[in-house]
Amino acid sequence: MGDLLGLVLKRLGLGLVTLLVVSILIFFAVELLPGDTAQQILGQGATEETVRALREQLGLDRPMVVRYLDWLSGAIFFDFGVSAISGDPVTASIGPRFANTLFLACYAAVIAVPIAIFLGVLVALFRNTVFDRVANVLTLTSISSPEFFLGYILILYLAVKTSLFPAISSLSEGMTFGELLHRTFLPALTLVLVVTAHMMRMTRAAIINLLSSPYIEMARLKGMPPFKVIVRHALPNAWAPIINVVALNLAYLITGVVLVEVVFVYPGVGQLLVDAVSKRDFPVVQACCLIFAATFILLNLAADVGTILTNPRLRHPK
């Protein structure tokens, strides 16, 4: 138990260091963008006094390092300042949007994870058959297709031509859970098509890698059916790489939804980030990027912990 706790604390420490480095890159990359932020916000017709007043309000007249330390100290307590456009607290703007993004990611994950594992087991069972080759072609096609392309294809066939689902995933107050699922089905399906293919191929590879093991050969020699061999012997020992790839794809579902949210005009953090970039609302941009980075690092930590828990060799290193 002590070794496991030590490994988890070590991974957590590395994650915090990584997040610190990412926060530096985010802040200074935004600060080094060309042009005067206050001038860009106010427009070319703004007077010099107005631009100077906005610069003082945003703290742009202070040294860059001081502004970074103030921003970082506030971010530790989830205080990212105020929006340069609306003047509202950044946390208040991001909170509902992040909840929408989490819902969309969970919606896609609930569909994608069971289907990916089941198809991975099935393809491993029928490897080197026509079913295996067709599945590989389809998954490679899905992985190679950009999210926005898949999104537009789904809109064309499921929204424009058949009117089964709305092309724009607009949310409103008072809508039922069924209406919410219906309106967000197309963006969730777009994410499902991308991550299911990746998880299925990794599940297939992990199981096939174990099928040449001596204990698998022994189970076969005893006359155990192939499906039982995979489910009862190969799959439990393949959980470590499967959990790893599932956690990484869950991280993608949350941090990689920017294009999908823009295509379907979904009110999530990705759409908010794009809007903030177009308006040069840098406090919102920095907060969104830091939240994405923290989420990705946290889920990578969960993947490492899951791998350690399912692999005794990692729990008791020699």
99-117 residue pLDDT tens: 898 899 889 989 988 898 8
DSSP 82: B
How high is the pLDDT of residue 126?
82
pLDDT at 42 over 70: no
pLDDT at 144 over 80: yes
Find the range with the poorest average confidence among 19-28, 104-113, 168-177. Answer: 168-177
Residues with Cβ within 8 Å of 191's Cβ and at least 6 positions away in sequence, in order, are: 104, 105, 108, 112, 147, 253, 257, 260
Which residues, listed in sequence order, are joined to residue 82 by a DSSP beta bridge?
A: 89
pLDDT at 258 over 80: yes
How much is the average pLDDT of 139-145? 83
Tokens 């919410």 belong to which residue? 180
Give percent above pLDDT 90 in the chain: 3
How high is the pLDDT of residue 171?
82
Handedness of CA 185, 190, 193, 198 (dihedral sign): negative
DSSP 36: -
Q: Which of 271, 246, 247, 249 has its CA nearest to residue 260?
A: 271
Handedness of CA 72, 78, 102, 84 (dihedral sign): negative
CB count, 10 Å around CB of 48? 8
How high is the pLDDT of residue 254?
79
How high is the pLDDT of residue 185?
92
The Cα–Cα gap between 186 and 192 comes to 10
How high is the pLDDT of residue 52?
75
The Cα–Cα gap between 101 and 266 comes to 9
Mind listing the pLDDT tens digit for each residue in 288-305? 888 888 888 888 887 777
How high is the pLDDT of residue 311?
64
* Upper half-sphere CA count for residue 62 (Cβ side, 13 Å): 11
Mind listing the pLDDT tens digit for each residue in 271-284? 888 888 887 788 88
Give percent above pLDDT 70 in the chain: 90
How high is the pLDDT of residue 297?
85
Q: Which two tokens stand for residue 47?
A: 């007077």
CA angle 115, 268, 114 (to 5 degrees): 10
Contact 158, 186 (CB under 8 A): yes
Q: How confident is the model at residue 14 (pLDDT cuts 50, 70, 90)?
A: confident
pLDDT at 223 over 70: yes
Residues with Cβ within 8 Å of 210's Cβ and at least 6 positions away in sequence, in order, are: 216, 234, 237, 238
How high is the pLDDT of residue 39?
64
Mind listing the pLDDT tens digit for each residue in 60-86? 777 888 888 888 888 888 888 888 777
How much is the average pLDDT of 44-57? 72
Contact 271, 168 (CB under 8 A): no
Q: Which domains does the chain have, with CATH numbers?
A: 2-61 (no CATH), 96-315 (1.10.3720.10)
How much is the average pLDDT of 165-178? 85
Find the range with the poorest average confidence among 45-54, 103-112, 146-155. Answer: 45-54
DSSP 159: I
Q: Which two tokens stand for residue 74?
A: 């506030």
Q: How confident is the model at residue 119 (pLDDT cuts 50, 70, 90)?
A: confident
